[in-house]
Amino acid sequence: MDRIWETTHTVEQAAVDAYGQDGCVTIRGALPSEALMQVRGEIRRAVRQHAAPALPLAQRNTYQRAFTQVTNLWQINQRIAQVACSARLAEMATVLMGCEGVRMYHDQALIKEAGGGATPWHCDQFYWPVDTDNTITAWIPLQDIALEQGPLSFARGSASYALGRGLSISDESESQLKAAMADYPYESTAFALGDVSFHSGWTYHHAGPNETNHDREAFTIIYIDKAATLTGLTTPFRQYDARTWCPGIKPGALINSPLNPILFEFTP
Ligand SMILES: O=C(O)CCC(=O)C(=O)O
């Protein structure tokens, strides 16, 4: 079963076109559910071991209520690394972006607890000190996710909206972007185990609250173009990201630290 992570899933041209137009696309049935169920237990254990101690939900701020976040699990668990570094997913990311190959930026488990709050509207690349728009997140549900559990949802075609690019995930991003994103087609759907959504670094997205009694479990992998260089260390957020996800890389240099292996490339 572990071999599945090294096999190919053909990305249909319609998905490439949708991603090119909308900056997001959900590929249904991209991963076999049995393989995901096998790794889910490992991710749950890793989250229990490595999540920072949390306040009761009512005492947390908006960001903390949105999800519990544990990052770079590929570094601490080999079974999870098989998924995070899988050629199958990395090839899909490469094909969708139309580039020659991708590197790891980082992975993370994002658990929206039972009763947890909404994930405010935002775009990810606010945080990322990279010189390219070829960045993409694979958002992988670890269970079926109903609408009332807070699946990730997108404003299609919103990457061109420049005014929100300076907003971190916050009450401010929610209030400013909620109104602005009403101008874009909204994509909010339930997910089945095995579906994977991809969104670009500048595409705005959010997730509703988890109104159920069960945690919403997702694992994400962020890929960058294999030719990406480090740039724009203009905010404490980006300086933190550079130190944490691209250690030792200087501004202007290729992002090729040991934490950024090439996960897939087309051979010339
Ligand atoms: O899972 C969530 O609620 C948020 C995920 C997200 O914003 C992302 O993966 O970029």
pLDDT digit string, tens, across residues 139-196: 999 999 999 999 999 999 999 999 999 999 999 999 999 999 999 999 999 999 999 9
What's the burial of 66, exposed, middle or buried (CB within 10 Å: 0-12/13-18/19+)?
buried
Q: How far is the CA of 251 from the centre of ligand 1 (A)?
A: 27
For the cut 60, the answer to whether the pLDDT of residue 235 exceeds it is yes
pLDDT of residue 28: 98
Of all atoms in ligand 1, which is nearest to the CA of residue 220? 9
Q: How far is the CA of 199 from the centre of ligand 1 (A)?
A: 10
For the cut 60, the answer to whether the pLDDT of residue 1 exceeds it is no
Q: Please give the Cα distance from 194 to 201 (Å, whole number).
A: 22
The pairing of strands 68-71 and 101-112 is: antiparallel
Asked if 207 contacts 153 with a C-beta cutoff of 8 angstroms, the reply is: yes
Helix axis angle, 87-97 to 13-22, nearest 10°:
60
For the cut 70, the answer to whether the pLDDT of residue 41 exceeds it is yes
Q: How far is the CA of 42 from the centre of ligand 1 (A)?
A: 20
Of all atoms in ligand 1, which is nearest to the CA of residue 124? 10
pLDDT of residue 98: 98
Q: Please give the Cα distance from 105 to 97 (Å, whole number).
A: 15
pLDDT of residue 115: 97
Sheet holding 186-187, edge to edge: 119-122, 205-207, 152-155, 186-187
- Is the CB of 112 within 6 Å of ligand 1? yes
Asked if 123 contacts 202 with a C-beta cutoff of 8 angstroms, the reply is: yes
| pLDDT tens digits, 64-90 | 999 999 999 999 999 999 999 999 999
- Over residues 99-104, mean pLDDT: 98
One-letter amino acid identity for 262? Answer: I
Of all atoms in ligand 1, which is nearest to the CA of residue 112? 3
Residue closest via CA to ligand 1's atom 5 equals 152
| pTM for this predicted structure | 0.97
CA 3 vs CA 32, 106, 110, 226, 246: distances in Å: 12, 22, 25, 24, 29
- Over residues 6-10, mean pLDDT: 91
pLDDT of residue 168: 97
For the cut 80, the answer to whether the pLDDT of residue 250 exceeds it is yes
Q: How far is the CA of 267 from the centre of ligand 1 (A)?
A: 32
pLDDT of residue 2: 75
What domains appear along the chain, each with residue ranges and CATH number?
Answer: 2-258 (2.60.120.620)
